[in-house]
Structure 1
Amino acid sequence: MVIEDMIYLIHVKEMAEYVSSSLSSEVELLFVDLEQDPPKMRTLDDKSLLGMQLISIQKLFSLYFPLEGMRNDLLPPDRAEPMADSKSLSEQIGSQSSVLMDLSSCMHDTEVTVPTVNGWLLGYPIVYLFSKDHIEDAIYNLSTKFLRIYKILVSRTSAPNKGSQPEELMSFSVPYELSMRGRNEAWAETFLACLQSKWGRCKQTWSSLEMEVSECYPQAIAL
């Protein structure tokens, strides 16, 4: 899946379930408003322009990734590269074939930025929020703040007597002033518990999963 300059390898069923849970508010998503200095923590306000537009993008994703399976009838001819035969998109994916989807059009005519959509798609519990008109403000407000870096580390299950070095599964940052309790923040504990629940289904591959939290001095940030 492609969105502007971002490329994603996705699990269709997991994506459908995640999009559905986002729209039903099963997944609590918090936002850091970078248009304000200092940045403020907020929930998604569907009455604000950015809130309505992000929800609109999520609804578009729910059309492409419904719980009952992907619908190739919604894919424009120039936005996908299916196999030569006429199998359905779900059959192609089920047989481990690759399909390229360009969903950049979901961003058109909105003020929502790629970092916001990217944070949501990657499942971050904290997502940076700012409009296209305030990119410079967002960069400045984030570059001048101390940050906490949250890393999720996993270790592969290895043969006996062979060690396994932790690998970074994902990482995200939160302004220090908005994460004073570090890993003990309520949202951090909920997020880790959710990941551990999923990890429990993959213990044959991953032997451990843990969260590492560190601090970062103010520095130039690219968004």
Structure 2
Amino acid sequence: MILFGASGHCKSVIDIAESIGEPIQQIYDDNPRTEAVCHIPVKKFVDGISGIRDTWIISIGNNSIRKAVSKKLTSNFGLLVHRTASISTWSSVGDGTVIMAKVVINACASIGKHCIINSAAVIEHDCEIGDFVHISPNVSLAGGVRVGEGTHIGIGACVLPEITIGKWVTIGAGAVIIRDVADGAVVVGNPGRVVG
């Protein structure tokens, strides 16, 4: 497997791969600032190199940058799931997604492409998560929650059942979401209130 992106999030992705014995052969970056991450060599990405037949993961935490990179790579995208994660056989997970330690994804949940489901997050039954979403550590989504493309739900946030969160929303750390959220909103607090 090959990674694109050599920042802090890359270290977490390497940890997932190591937990399941998946070797990381190489890390590429547009602007490398280090020669190695966790002893894995980092090289500058050059257009056209994506023709390599290995599977790739975009190891970049920023949702919009991850989306932009996905458009320029013509690669097979893999899936990385930490060995301690629990994923229902009735759920689905898109290519390029990384699922970290202690995550729980319950029955009939659907996770999009190139998502980050971070440590100890809980995604209950029938949730629908769009592409390029980041669910931070210890987030809890109750049953039937829908999350639009590119949204970032901050650490420890809770979302009540059947709530719809739009595209490219930012939910602050510890927020409690009790009503639907429109596209592009910034929501903080308990109960969650729109601040931008």
TM-score normalised to structure 2 length: 0.28
Instruction: Identify which of structures 1 and 2 has the higher relative contact order when contacts are C-alpha pairs closer than 8 Å and 6+ apart.
Output: 1
- Rg: which structure is higher? 1
TM-score normalised to structure 1 length: 0.26
Which has the larger strand fraction? Answer: 2
Which has the larger helix fraction? Answer: 1
